[in-house]
Amino acid sequence: MDDALDVRQVSLRFGGVRALTDVSFSIREGELFSIIGPNGAGKTSIVNCISGRYHPSEGKLFYRGQDITGLPTNARAALGIGRTFQNLALFHHMSVLDNIMVGRHHLLKNNFLTGSLYWLTGARKEELEHRRKVEEIIDFLDLQPVRKATAGTLSYGLRKRVELARAMALEPKLILLDEPMAGMNLEEKEDMARYIVDLNEEYGMTVVMIEHDMGVVMDISHRVVVLDFGKKIAEGDPAAVLADPHVKRAYLGEEDEALSDPDDVPPAMEASA
């Protein structure tokens, strides 16, 4: 299986502070890949490097064999890299439908001039096609009852779902999910986990997910990488990674705590960032 993403010896510094040090890992096409680690481990920093929000101080990033290290965020979106944010980044005064339509902006072919000739240049046909795609996403994420609601009036769980919908609207081949289940109740988490698995299996998206709920990580991830203090300390299938003594030490502060049973994962590993 080919690599969708190759992270090679990436380091990130902010002045004298090292957020990441020599981090390397590969993500295969079609994989559901989780990034885990304690608070402050560098998880969001590496996702920001992948999405283009940050540029590494050292190292390289390759997407489907192409060096994207110096590309701006919009160029990465055009290549097929989408993301959600740990802190919601919706337009709260806009409707759910309009928020999702914003995610289609880089796919629009008509410009200001041709768009002004709405009926003559195909702009109307293009808009209808984009709206059809958005309606498919709304159906997929069960957002029909709130499609015309103002985003800022929705519950937290629904707003997280709208943000996922907007990321889907970019039609990404690789989607980066930064704590998609943070702050959700059990039922909302189960729904979100199902949507993420369906994104991977039905839509064929490669999924990279930061997540603190180890039950979810164990259940749905194909492989996991663990960061601690900005360094990679483990990588592999979830069961093997959670049994690694370095991982147990990072989460628990000790080496001899048993973690063989995912149902026995301690609360410290489920804490939100």
pLDDT at 248: 87
201 found inside a domain: yes
Confidence of residue 106 (pLDDT cuts 50, 70, 90): low
| Overall average pLDDT of the 25-29 stretch | 97
Do residues 179 and 50 share a domain? yes
Whether 273 is covered by a domain: the verdict is yes
Q: Which residue, of 134, 155, 171, is where some domain finishes?
A: 171
Please give the structure tokens belonging to residue 133.
């795609």
211 shares its domain with 273: yes
Region 221-232: mean pLDDT is 96
pLDDT per residue over 131-186, tens digit each?
888 999 999 999 999 999 999 999 989 999 999 999 999 899 999 999 999 889 99
- Token readout for 208 is 């990279």
pLDDT of 226 > 90? The answer is yes
CA nearest 2: which of 173, 198, 167, 197? 173
- 150 within some domain: yes
86 in a structural domain: no
Least confident of 48-57, 116-125, 158-167, 185-194: 116-125
**23 and 66 co-located in one domain:** yes
Tell me which residue range forms the domain holding 57: 1-80+175-273
Helix axes 156-169, 186-201, angle to 10 degrees: 10
Q: Are residues 100 and 72 in the same domain?
A: no
Residues 207 and 271 in one domain: yes
Cβ-based neighbours of 37, under 8 Å, separated by 6 or more: 43, 226, 227, 228, 250
Mark whether 159 and 216 lie in a shared domain: no
Does a structural domain hold residue 85?
Answer: no
- Examine the fold and report which residue of 117, 138, 171 is the final residue of a domain before the chain moves on: 171
Report the alpha-carbon distance of residue 213 to residue 34 in Å, rounded. 11
Name the 3-class secondary structure at 24: strand
Q: Which band of pLDDT confidence, cut at 50, 70 and 90, is reported for residue 51? A: very high
104 and 75 inside one domain: no
> Phi/psi class of residue 23: alpha, beta or left (left: φ > 0; alpha: ψ in -120 to 50)?
beta
**Whole-prediction pTM value?**
0.82
Residues 187 and 165 occupy one common structural domain: no
CA distance 269 to 37: 8
Q: Answer yes or no: do 119 and 239 share one domain.
A: no
In which residue are the tokens 């008509």 written?
A: 110
The answer on 167 and 180 residing in a single domain is no
Give pLDDT, residue 262: 42
CATH number at residue 65: 3.40.50.300
Total domains in the chain come to 2
Residues 101 and 143 in one domain: yes
Which residue type sits at 8?
R
Joined together, the tokens standing for residue 110 give 């008509």
Residue 210, domain member (yes or no) = yes
Buried b / exposed e along 34-63 (16+ C-beta atoms within 10 A):
bbbbbeebbbbbbbbbbbbebebeebebbb
Return the pLDDT at 267: 40
- 72, 189: one domain: yes
Burial track 173-197 (b if 16+ CB lie within 10 A, e otherwise): bbbbbbbbbbebeeebbebbbebbe
Structural domain contains residue 21: yes
- Using the 3D structure, point to which of 122, 139, 171 is the last residue of a domain: 171
